[in-house]
Amino acid sequence: MKYIFKIGGQAGAGIMSAGRLLILCFSRAGYNVLGYPEYPSLIRGGHNAVQVKVSEGEVRAPEPKHDMLIALNQDAITFHLPDLKEEGVVVYDEHLKCDKGYGVPFSKIAMEEGDVQMKNTVALGSALALVNYPFEIFENVLRDHFGGRKGEEVAERNIRAARRGYEYVKEKGWKHREIKPLSDKRKVIITGNQSIALGAIKAGMKFYAAYPMTPASSILHYLAKVERDFDIIVKQTEDEIAAINYALGASFAGVRSMVGTSGGGFSLMVETLGLAGLSETPLVVVVAQRVGPSTGMPTWTEQGDLRFVLHASQGEFPRAVLAPGDVKEAFLLSAEAHNIAEKYQMPVILLTDKFLSESVFSTEAFKEEVKLERGEVVRETAPQEGRWKRYAITESGISPRIFPGTPHGMHVATSYEHDESGFSSESFVMRVKQVDKRARKVEKLLEETPGPKVYGEGEIALITWGSTKLPSLEALEILKEKGKSAKVIHNTHIYPFNKKAFLEALGDATPIVVENNSTAQFAGYLREQCLIAPKAILRYDGRPFFAENIAEGVERIMKGEEIAVVKEQRDVEYYYPYRFR
């Protein structure tokens, strides 16, 4: 069973809340669920939409068509009716104009129950009646959702409103399909950003600093909510420059630290990133990509910052770049990033994107053990008198680290090139020694860097990084139905890059990179690293790939195209919906 809902309405009408309630409703009955939100950079006005995909099987990516449209205003019908499946159904507020589906008095019922804002709850009750889903499950969701935050009275009002919508549809005898609960086993509901936050907590992070910036903001929101539960400090700073400096200072003092931002904020952070590189101070930076450059399209997804994070800040210094492709990888790589940062004394960039950051996924609880590796740290009295050689030339490139206050651990840590004790130096000989020392850390890290994960087998290789893994895995089924054998080669460890393992995984397959940017950045990176010339399927309009886009792109490439660009067939803009009225 697979069923796809689309909820649409004006920003401020509780569209995102409605999507989350629907996700909880089905995840509590054992279903796999994906919630994909779309919204413009507006607090009020504009158009918001959420797709909720419900399935007995695994769900990974949104789809271009839906089975039911839940329309809270006329714009929802305008934007989403064309994408309704032929056998689909619309349930809408009765005063709207729609020649298909069922009109229910959402607003009228909500007002009679005391608050027109509850029309989204009425709408969900109506939608669940159309698929004959037990109201008791939804009632419990509403009680849990509203009872703790807004009190029992608010919860009961929403339950009454939802029940009236449910009973209205039942009394009319309307129905579409039937969705029955699978089990009473609940799934974990989590976003990519929440997974990153939990991975960091599991790894012992104790300090997080950030300035709010979509789509990284929800990491800050979540960590601020749970900081007392996990004994961490969360600091919302005055700007992004302050945020990374706070985190770097905390790390220098011996605290596992992380900072989060998007591309525009990271632009302001790169000078301090260089300071982390030269002073060999561990630091984890989350960069949640969105459409750029500059302000771009702040609430839409893209993978345009790969080259930026690989080369951010002037000069050359070691770093690691990790890119999770799903919520479990986000959890595990977030933890691994802290280990790498401290073990190799370098900045680590965790590169995600709006689609993975803010989409809601059902999953099993993360039960993997997280091993903490803090690297070479001298915790007792330093075994020498005088200045501590913080940057001692070592064979591994890793110099023993010491925290401030440790006896005999005095040293200098500045932005200048330095000698072994940290004093500024312009010695040509020492400069070469220090550059080579830092570079040896990358060589050592590469020995521990895993290769890509391979899913399936075939003559075509869909090469992914980040969240393009999810629709690419779904595309394998479509390609199989069309008689094409394909596999997915998914890369999480972007730099340093294990090119030997990648080439072994690729074999003789035709390489096709799938990425959300206009210049095929990872395809170009593979040319540098592996001396191959992959073709590419690209999308850069702000939306993530649908599996159908990738399958179509493969066919175009097999017919001779070097680069297949995915383009919207209809002009759609949520920022100015009045253009389409």
Q: What is the mean pLDDT of residues 370-381?
A: 89
For residues 237 and 179, state if they share a domain.
Answer: no
* Domain C-terminal end among 167, 186, 205: 186
Helix H or strand E segment including 208: strand 207-210
Q: Tell me whether residue 90 is in a domain.
A: yes
Q: Where are the alpha helices (DSSP H) in 351-407?
A: 354-358
Whether the predicted pLDDT of 538 surpasses 80: yes
Q: Where are the alpha helices (DSSP H) in 33-105?
A: 74-80
Q: Omega into 82 within 30° of 0, i.e. cis?
A: no
* Domain C-terminal end among 186, 221, 244: 186
* Domain C-terminal end among 332, 363, 394: 363
For residues 62 and 171, state if they share a domain.
Answer: yes
Number of domains, the chain: 3
Q: Tell me whether residue 252 is in a domain.
A: yes
Whether the predicted pLDDT of 230 surpasses 70: yes
Average model confidence (pLDDT) across the chain: 96
pLDDT of residue 300: 98
**At 151, which amino acid appears?**
G
CB of 359 closer than 8 Å to CB of 288: no
pLDDT of residue 366: 93
pLDDT of residue 407: 85
Q: What is the mean pLDDT of residues 66-80?
A: 97
Whether the predicted pLDDT of 384 surpasses 70: no
pLDDT of residue 580: 85
Whether the predicted pLDDT of 150 surpasses 80: no
Whether the predicted pLDDT of 166 surpasses 70: yes
Q: How far is residue 2's CA from residue 129's CA, in Å, rounded to a whole number?
A: 17
For residues 181 and 195, state if they share a domain.
Answer: no
Cβ burial, residue 561 (10 Å; 0-12/13-18/19+):
middle
pLDDT of residue 424: 97
For residues 146 and 262, state if they share a domain.
Answer: no
The whole model's pTM is what? 0.96
Cβ burial, residue 581 (10 Å; 0-12/13-18/19+):
exposed
Q: Which residue, among 385, 526, 539, has the nearest Cα to 463 in the 3D structure?
A: 526
Q: How far is residue 376's CA from residue 402's CA, in Å, rounded to a whole number?
A: 9
Q: Tell me whether residue 438 is in a domain.
A: no
pLDDT of residue 387: 80
Q: Tell me whether residue 381 is in a domain.
A: no
Whether the predicted pLDDT of 149 surpasses 80: no
For residues 216 and 358, state if they share a domain.
Answer: yes
Q: How far is residue 98's CA from residue 421's CA, in Å, rounded to a whole number?
A: 75
For residues 266 and 316, state if they share a domain.
Answer: yes
Q: Where are the alpha helices (DSSP H) in 2-151?
A: 15-27, 74-80, 106-112, 119-130, 135-150
Q: What is the mean pLDDT of residues 391-409?
A: 92
Q: Which residues contact 19 (CB under 8 A, 6 or more apart)?
A: 7, 35, 37, 50, 52, 360
What is the CATH classification number for the domain harbouring 557?
A: 3.40.50.920
The residue ranking higher by pLDDT, 148 or 289, is 289
The number of beta carbons lying within 10 Å of the beta carbon of residue 206 is: 17
Helix (H, G, I), strand (E, B) or coil at 123: helix
**Per-residue pLDDT reduced to its tens digit, 293-345:** 999 999 999 999 999 999 999 999 999 999 999 999 999 999 999 999 999 99
For residues 256 and 237, state if they share a domain.
Answer: yes
Q: Tell me whether residue 387 is in a domain.
A: no
Whether the predicted pLDDT of 286 surpasses 90: yes
Q: Omega into 544 within 30° of 0, i.e. cis?
A: no
148, 331, 459 from 323: Cα distances, Å:
35, 11, 25
Whether the predicted pLDDT of 385 surpasses 90: no
**Per-residue pLDDT reduced to its tens digit, 362-374:** 999 999 889 999 9
Q: Tell me whether residue 131 is in a domain.
A: yes
What is the CATH classification number for the domain harbouring 93?
A: 3.40.920.10
Q: Tell me whether residue 434 is in a domain.
A: no
Q: Which residues contact 509 (CB under 8 A, 6 or more apart)?
A: 458, 459, 460, 461, 487
What is the CATH classification number for the domain harbouring 344?
A: 3.40.50.970
For residues 262 and 175, state if they share a domain.
Answer: no
Whether the predicted pLDDT of 183 surpasses 70: yes
For residues 23 and 149, state if they share a domain.
Answer: yes
Q: What is the mean pLDDT of residues 43-68?
A: 95
List the domain range (segments joined by +) for residue 492.
Answer: 453-565
SS3 of 455-477: the string is EECCCEEEEEEHHHHHHHHHHHH
Q: Tell me whether residue 72 is in a domain.
A: yes
For residues 199 and 175, state if they share a domain.
Answer: no
Cβ burial, residue 232 (10 Å; 0-12/13-18/19+):
buried
Question: CA gyration radius for the chain?
Answer: 26
Report the share of the chain in percent with pLDDT over 90.
Answer: 90
Q: How far is residue 269's CA from residue 285's CA, in Å, rounded to a whole number?
A: 10
Report the share of the chain in percent with pLDDT over 70.
Answer: 99
For residues 359 and 228, state if they share a domain.
Answer: yes
For residues 551 and 531, state if they share a domain.
Answer: yes
The torsion of the CA quartet 237, 238, 244, 249, rounded to 10 degrees, works out to -70
Q: How far is residue 11's CA from residue 45's CA, in Å, rounded to a whole number?
A: 5
Q: Where are the alpha helices (DSSP H) in 151-239?
A: 152-172, 192-202, 217-230
